[in-house]
Chain A
Amino acid sequence: MLEVRGISKRFGGNVALDRCSFMVEEHASVGLIGPNGAGKTTAADLISGILPVDDGQIIFKGRPIQNRPLWRVARQGVTRTFQVSRELKALTVMENMLVGSQLQSVEGVWPTLFAVSRIRAAERTAVRRAFELLELFQLDRVANELAGNLSVGQKRVLELARALMAEPGLLILDEPLAGLSPTTSRNIADFVESMRARGVTLLIIEHNLTMIERLCERVIVLAQGRVLAEGTMREIRGLPEVIDAYLGPVA
């Protein structure tokens, strides 16, 4: 479904990604791990269209998506979440959900007047879908609260639920468990599993390797901008080069 072919990204003289290649199959759940500074978030930024690549190709459902504007990549079905929740604080939880939906907009007075019933119908569908997701993610009771008033854990859950509003084919989660307590982490992991059950393909960046093992059947290890290893978490653990990457070189 996603094929990353030799992508590179430099920031000034710093090489963040160096000819990186990997694949994510449809309906798979793949972990992207590696020590700090390995290039994981940069990879997510390139795939989701936030940053242009310097080199290489990103193929999604058979079509190149590298260097496309963010919204176009999103329309094609690639959505991501961020390490720090980016909820719209002054909007309610429900409004946040509706912002996440890909409502087709119509511009101009006449076209809008003619499309009124179609827009209303689309909105009704979006609201229904939002409620379903909020129920699934146990946020239905706070649907009318301002998003800024939610707890850190709830904000993270909202981020996941909102990402699903776009009905993504591929969802990239950037450290969904960062900074959360073990209990909240387990709840979020449950939600991630339920996303998978709905057929969403997942690429998960996460430092909590116990959760990666639970959520992903395969992991890709990045180190210093390169793919160092691939396999199951069990296979990866035994590899001396992976241990070396995490502990750093000896001087």
Chain B
Amino acid sequence: MKGLLCVRGLSTGYGGTTVLDGVSLSVEPGKMVCVIGPNGAGKSTLMKAIFGLLPLSAGEVVFDGRDITGWPPEQVVRLGLCYVPQVDNTFPNLTVEENLEIGAATVPERFSRHRDRVYAMFPDLAASRNKAAGNLSGGQQRMLALGLSLMLSPRLVLLDEPTSGLAPKLAEAVLGYVRRLRDRGISVLLVEQNARKALQMSDRGYVLSNGKNRLSDTGAALLSNPEVGSLYLGK
């Protein structure tokens, strides 16, 4: 298995509870891959585990040919792997521009170049650059969260439910922003509740349930696979 990101047999949990039980997946360069599954499947935990936010009990994470298993997040991001959490992913009291500045805290010399690139990608943010992030619309806040991750010029972005809590129309728009990332050649590993929309825009999908890999196929093939629905509703 070769790819930009290879995860093999990942297991982790909280306290004595196993949440992920030997999960494997891979993301090829420039591809969009989604992870779907019912509540409690372990999707968000998988993201945190890959990014080094949780201790692993088994398995390995290889990024760009390098074994990063057990690496802390601050080292992981230097290789070009970024993570956008589901909540608390912007600084609400700071302006858009200040948020982006913090995003580039580790690479201040590249701040203005990367900021301009983010503004080119998301003109809405440029127009609101002096607004406090907390005063942006729900969709714009997600846009800023994506923009923040781009300040480190990542090669792969882990996105944990970028549409959670948004009305259907806004969710649609945010998935459009995610597509812009992929269009710029950035690989995306996306966790989504809108399973069908995620599959539709992904090159590959993985279905988890109860912390285990259940199905994996191209997005299109999973879309027409009735087993996916059964995994959500049981038997």
Interface residues of A, Cβ cutoff 8 Å to B: 14, 35-37, 152, 178-181, 207-210, 213, 233, 236-237, 242-243, 246-251
Contacts and interface: CB of A to CB of B under 8 A. Distances in A.
A248 B38 contact: no
B57 to A, nearest CB: 14
Contact of B233 (A152, A242, A251): A242
A237 B197 CA distance: 21
A233 B165 CA distance: 27
A207 B16 contact: no
B137 interface: no
B223 interface: yes
B38 A251 contact: no
A247 B195 contact: yes
A249 B196 contact: yes
A237 B233 contact: yes
A208 B40 CA distance: 8
Contacts, number: 61
Given A14-B167, A248-B196, A213 B228 contact: no
Contact of A247 (B196, B201, B234): B196
Nearest to A37: B165
B218 interface: no
Nearest to B193: A36
A36 B39 CA distance: 8
Interface string B16-56: 11100000000000000000001110000000000000000
A55 B234 CA distance: 34
Contact of A237 (B196, B223, B234): B234
13 contacts: A179-B40, A207-B38, A207-B39, A207-B40, A233-B234, A236-B233, A243-B229, A246-B195, A246-B229, A246-B232, A248-B194, A249-B196, A251-B175
Given A36-B193, A237-B230, 19 more contacts: A14-B167, A35-B193, A180-B17, A181-B18, A208-B40, A209-B234, A210-B234, A213-B234, A246-B232, A247-B195, A247-B196, A247-B228, A247-B229, A247-B232, A248-B193, A250-B197, A251-B175, A251-B196, A251-B201
A41 to B, nearest CB: 13
B234 A181 contact: no
Interface in B118-171: 164-165, 167-168
B136 to A, nearest CB: 16
Contact of A251 (B164, B193, B195, B197): B197
Query: Which one of B18, B196, B233 has the greatest number of beta carbons of chain A within 10 Å?
Result: B233
B167 A248 contact: no
A78 to B, nearest CB: 26
B172 interface: yes
Nearest to B39: A207
Given A209-B233, A243-B232, A249 B197 contact: yes
B216 interface: no
Contact of A248 (B40, B197, B201, B235): B197
